[in-house]
Amino acid sequence: MPAAGSIDTIWDQIAILGDAARATPIADLFAVDPRRVEDFSASLDDLTLDFSKTAISRAALAALLDFARATGLETFRDRIFAGAEINPTEHRAALHVALRAPDGAAMTASLGGKTDDASAYVTLQRDRMRAFVAAVHEGRIVGATGLPFTDVLNIGIGGSDLGPRMVCEALTLVGPTHLTPHFLSNVDGHAFAALSRVLDPARTLVLVASKTFTTQETMTNARAARDWLAASLGDAAVGAHFAAMSTNAAATAAFGITADRVFGFRDWVGGRYSVWSPIGLSVALAAGWDAFQALLDGGHAMDQHFRNAPLARNLPVLLALVGIWNVNAMGSRTHCVLAYDRRLQRFPAFLQQLEMESNGKSVLLDASPSPRPTGPVLFGEPGTDAQHSFMQLVHQGTQPVPVDFLLAAIPDHNRPEAHQILAAHAFAQAEALLAGKSLGTVQQEMRAAGASDAEITAGAPHRVFSGNRPSNMILFRRLDAFTLGRLIALYEHKVAVQGCIWNIDSFDQWGVELGKVLAGRLLPDLTHGTAAAPHDPSTSALITRFRSLRGEE
């Protein structure tokens, strides 16, 4: 890492370039630069990132690439694949790339001051998963009554839910389904009540995803599922209907899950990066092992691109630099992801955890406060639904919101006219954000439609679109398991690149801990009415009111 003074100088240069960029509308950049589309896009086979509809100039892109090199990005990238301790606050590697590497990759990870043979462990667990999935699909593993499983219920939260839920929905909405997937994450009892109405306990395989097997929400839901199943089939049936993704052998055994149904993963696998691990068992059970393997292969293909492509043509690097430009040069505090594909409905929710849990940090690696903004607030929905909800703000709100559009060229349904309409809307939204609509154009249109001068004066300003709002387009041939793997890995590496440049730890998540601790302290207040610790006046008053509404005080 260069000296702090030199880094500050580069940040100052980027801020100056941002000020200069505001003077030129994005649309005008195309008029003066005939090669802008070609030079402000990059591809990996059929997967293309077009970032030409952003305010980045050639000088800004060059400065950002130089900055990436100055911050040691290439060395940082090498350290990721070497299994080095790049998560210093937890003294861990972040070697999720090993989870999708082929057998024999010989990758090792730093783990608690020791070297872990990551590839050997991954191969062991992957082989066990493959054998288990085959036995379920072939009817060699069945429920307690002898009936084959038709449904799989994944119980987890955070990365143990968002990743497999998103992938299962993407791959099984119109694709082949071996077992119907269901997901339970929220500890709210209404969630399990709804599932218990549609699931047959005799034909349901339950997966409990918790590394420690102590996560409060997950274990509360797991006990509810256990009670539900035992009430119908008897307590002895539990072992036939449960499997676990955990490292706590004693706790899983006490729960009634036999060792051959417990699949492990190492501490160098963070929750939000774990869909490639046994946490993805629900994906393999629902979509099939071939689909799960294709997901791994797609992720590995993006890993190889990230590892070997020059920074100026490297998709994760370019996507990360565009995001840094938007946040630190242009002042954006939000980011929108619009997947024009119903199968990616949960992709924005998955990215919310991936990006905001990773880079929602205000402390640098040296424990000093960050002098500049880091990760933006991320939100999104599928297009075209989003056009009829929050896109009003994206088009005409007071703050520009950068957008990522995702679109497949070929759908997996037999309604080509619907896909043409969908694609037209995706391209139109990006074009509208770029070009907008001027007051003069609006006035002409209203006048041509027969509006009076008074109506034009009163109504025209409301129909003006400022334009000049940045967007990226990520275009690919079709959304299959391989492409989905590439997309997930693309954003994973984007996050890591941004963390390196912002000089923060993208792989810890201490911000989720405080609420858990306080919830544990609050629980006795709610259940017994005895305060285990003092609270602020508002919280104390609300607890009293809550108990009063329940008739307990």
Determine phi and psi for 111, rounding to 5 degrees: -145, 105
CB of 204 closer than 8 Å to CB of 153: yes
129 CA to centre of own chain: 24
Minimal CA–CA distance to 338: which of 261, 391, 392?
391
ω into residue 384 within 30 of 0, thus cis? yes
Sequence spans of domains, the chain: 4-70+301-435+469-508, 104-287, 511-549
What are the residues whose beta carbons fall under 8 Å from the beta carbon of 199, sequence distance 6 or more? Answer: 151, 153, 182
Q: What is the pLDDT of residue 1?
A: 54
CB of 282 closer than 8 Å to CB of 159: no
Burial class from Cβ neighbours inside 10 Å (0-12, 13-18, 19+) for residue 316 reads buried
Given the structure tokens 């993208």, which residue do they identify?
506
**Tens-digit pLDDT string for the chain (553 aa):** 556 668 888 899 999 999 999 999 999 999 999 999 999 999 999 999 999 999 999 999 999 999 999 999 999 999 999 999 999 999 999 999 999 999 999 999 987 778 999 999 999 999 999 999 999 999 999 999 999 999 999 999 999 999 999 999 999 999 899 999 999 999 999 999 999 999 999 999 999 999 999 999 999 999 999 999 999 999 999 999 999 999 999 999 999 999 999 999 999 999 999 999 999 999 999 999 999 999 999 999 999 999 999 999 999 999 999 999 999 999 999 999 999 999 999 999 999 999 999 999 999 999 999 999 999 999 999 999 999 999 999 999 999 999 999 999 999 999 999 999 999 999 999 999 999 999 999 999 999 999 999 999 999 999 999 999 999 999 999 999 999 999 999 999 999 999 999 999 999 999 888 888 888 888 888 887 766 678 899 988 898 889 889 888 6
Q: What is the pLDDT of residue 114?
A: 84
Q: What is the pLDDT of residue 517?
A: 84
Give the global pTM: 0.96
Q: What is the pLDDT of residue 111?
A: 77
Mapped onto helix, strand or coil, the DSSP state of residue 242 is strand
Q: What is the pLDDT of residue 8?
A: 86
Q: What angle do CA 292, 296, 302 make, to 5 degrees?
A: 145
How many Å apart are CA 275 and CA 94, to the nearest integer?
A: 14
CATH 3.30.565.10 is right for the domain spanning 4-70+301-435+469-508: no
Encode 497-533: b = buried (16+ Cβ within 10 Å), e = exposed.
bbbbbbbbbbbbbeeeeeeeeeeeebeebeeeeeeee
- Residue type for position 45: D
How many Å apart are CA 47 and CA 406, to the nearest integer?
A: 10
Minimal CA–CA distance to 411: which of 392, 401, 426, 428?
426
Q: What is the pLDDT of residue 113?
A: 77
> Same CATH topology for 4-70+301-435+469-508 and 104-287?
yes
H or E stretch at 209: strand 204-209
- Spell out the CATH class of 104-287: alpha beta
Q: Which residues are catalytic?
A: 357, 388, 516
Q: What is the pLDDT of residue 449?
A: 97
What are the residues whose beta carbons fall under 8 Å from the beta carbon of 352, sequence distance 6 or more? Answer: 378, 379
CB of 329 closer than 8 Å to CB of 15: yes
Q: What is the pLDDT of residue 2?
A: 56
Tokens of 290: 């071939």
Strand-pairing partners, residue 44, are 47
Q: What is the pLDDT of residue 58?
A: 95
